[in-house]
Amino acid sequence: MQIKRLLDDREVRVGDSVFDAQGRSYAFVEHSGGELVVTPDGGRPTRFKPDELGCYVILVNRTVRGLARARLRDYWED
């Protein structure tokens, strides 16, 4: 998985700063269970949905084989 910012489409890496809607700054820790785990300065880890921090998640495995698997999985889930 790859996490990118909506504002400038740059990849978010561990330790990068992300901001919520109120402008509070958080340091990115990890992606877990569909949510982003971040820590405020001197605080404990907190979970946010990616869109709450102005980010989105994409799949990195975009090879032909990976796309074929995703299409097949989507076909049977619908």
CB-side neighbour CA atoms (13 Å) of 22: 2
Taking the model in full, what pTM does it have? 0.66
Burial of 78 (0-12, 13-18, 19+ CB in 10 A): exposed
For residue 78, is pLDDT > 80?
A: no
Using 50, 70 and 90 to split pLDDT, how confident is the model at 58? confident
Burial of 48 (0-12, 13-18, 19+ CB in 10 A): middle
**Of 76 and 64, more confident:** 76
For residue 59, is pLDDT > 80?
A: no
Parse the chain into domains and list their residue ranges. Answer: 2-77
pLDDT at site 47? 94
pLDDT at site 34? 84
Which of these CATH numbers, 3.40.50, 2.170.120, 2.60.40, 2.30.30, describes 2-77?
2.30.30
